[in-house]
Structure 1
C-alpha cells in the first residue's frame, strides 16, 4: 500500500517551529527535504493537478482553483494506477479535488465539508483511521488530504500562533494514521504550497518552498535528500513504489536518492 498525505499550506519552517513529534519521527524513519518546490501559480488546485499529472500548470492549463478541462489532457497517477488493475481510495475535505482524476477511476471516495474551526480536519483523520483498520477494504493507493492548516493561514496568517497550533493538531491526527497503517506501507507526506501573510500564489520562497517526506520498507532511513525535489516528482516516485509505469508525457523524475536499492 502507498499512502499520500497532503497538508495543504504547510511551510517547512512551520514543521521546525511547531511541536510536531509525529512528523519528526517520520523524518527520522525515512527520507526528507525541507526545500522541495511548488509550481507557479502556487495555488491549491493547480498544485494538485501538477502533483497527480507530473506536469506544470503551463502544460495542464489549470491556473486557478476553478477547474477547467486540461489544455492538453494526459493520464495522471490515478489513471495509471487504475489501468494497472489497482484500487484507489480518496479521503478529503476540499470538494474541487474531485477533478484531479477522471470519472470511474477511484474505488472509494470520502468527502465531507469541514467545520470552520479547529476540528476542520478531524473527520478526515477519523475516516483515514477507519479505512486503514478495515481489513475488508483492500486499496493499493490511498490519498488523505488535510485542509485546515491552509485555512488557518488564510484566517490568521502564515506562522501565526493559530496557524502553528492547527499544524500541531494535524500532527496529532497523523499520529493516529501512522499507528494503524500497515507495517509494509510506504507513505509520503508533503504540502502543495506554503504561504505568507494571509495568502499565497506568488513565486516568493515562502509560497514556493514545501516539505516532502517519504518512509517505508524500501526507503532510506534518517536521510536528507540532496537532489532538488519538485511537486512534479511525486507521481513518478509513487508509481515506482506501486509498480506502475509512469506516463511518457510526465515531466517529473523518480527521486531515486530515497531508495535503499538505487
Structure 2
C-alpha cells in the first residue's frame, strides 16, 4: 500500500477523532477540588458560603459513598481510576503501589486514570495536580500530567496550596486540574470530627475555594468550566476507615457550564463514579475495566 495513502488515512482518522472529541465536550475545563476527610454529615452545619452557592447553582449529592476501607489512598485512587480496589489494586490508606495486581495497566505502568484518558484524547491539553498530602502523586499517573507539585508544609504554610492553584490556573488555564487539600482530615485526627475546630477549618477551606473560583474568572475560563468539590472519605471521633455513614458518605458538588441548576439529586453515587463523570464531561469513552457511571442526569 502506498505510504502516502497510509499517512493520509492516519491523519484523516486523527482529525476525525479529534473533531468527535471536541463536539462531545460539555466544557473546556474541569477543576476538581478535593477536601480530604470531609464528611457529608457536616455540610448543613458548616459555614461554607462559596460551596453552598455552588450547590444552589449546580447539582449535588450528600450520599456519595466511599469504597472500603474508608481511607485516603484507596479512595483517591478510586476517584481518579473509575474503579474500586478489587480492580485497581490500591487497598490501604497509604498505598503507593497496588497491593493487588491491577487488572489492567497502561503504557505508563499504572491502572487507567482520568488524567491518562484525557492525555490520549488530547495530547496538547494542560493537565495538572496540586496537593498537600504526598500520597496523591502515586495515584494520578504523573507521566500523563504537565505539572504536579506538593505544596510546602501546610501546618506552617496553610495558604500555600491555594496560592499555587490560583497561580497555575491563571498562568496555564488547565483543561483538567485536581487540587487536593489534606484538610479537614488533619484536624479530624487531631481535634476530632464534628468539633468546633473541624468546622472552623471547613470555613477556612471554603475561603480557599472562593479564591480558586476568582482565579478561574481572572483567567477567563470560568464561563467555559465545570467545578467539582468532593472528598475521599468522612470520619467519626478522631478516625476513619470503618463502615459508619459518617465515615463513608461524602459530598459531590458540581456546577458550571452545561450543568443543570437542579440542586439535590437522589441517584446513587460511588467514589469511582467521579472519574466517569469527568470523562463524560470531556466526551471520552471510558475503559472497559472501569465500573464507574457518569452522573449524566446533572448535564444539560
Question: What TM-score comes out, normalization by structure 2 length?
Answer: 0.82
Contact 2:113 2:141 in 1 (8 A): no
Contact 1:76 1:247 in 2 (8 A): no
- Equivalent residue for 1:190, pick from 230, 252, 255: 230
The alignment's C-alpha RMSD in Å is: 1.4
- Equivalent residue for 2:242, pick from 180, 189, 202: 202
Contact 1:81 1:87 in 2 (8 A): no
1:164 maps to 2:199: yes
Which residues in structure 2 correspond to 1:84-233 (within 5 Å)?
84=121, 85=123, 86-116=125-155, 119-120=157-158, 122-134=159-171, 137-181=172-216, 182-233=222-273
Number of residue equivalences: 256
Q: Which residue of 2 aligns with 1:56?
A: 84
Q: CA deviation at 1:243?
A: 2.3
Q: CA deviation at 1:180?
A: 2.2
Q: Which residue of 2 aligns with 1:41?
A: 69
Distance 1:103 1:163 in 2: 31
Q: CA deviation at 1:8?
A: 0.6
Moved more, 76-85 or 57-66: 57-66
The answer for unaligned runs of 5 or more in structure 1 is none
Q: Which residue of 2 aligns with 1:81?
A: 118
Q: CA deviation at 1:114?
A: 2.2
Contact 2:30 2:225 in 1 (8 A): yes
Distance 1:256 1:101 in 2: 24
Q: CA deviation at 1:13?
A: 2.4
- Equivalent residue for 2:97, pick from 65, 68, 71: 68
Distance 2:249 2:60 in 1: 13
SS of residue matched to 2:185: helix
Contact 1:41 1:57 in 2 (8 A): no
Distance 2:179 2:208 in 1: 11
The answer for unaligned runs of 5 or more in structure 2 is 1-28, 106-110, 217-221
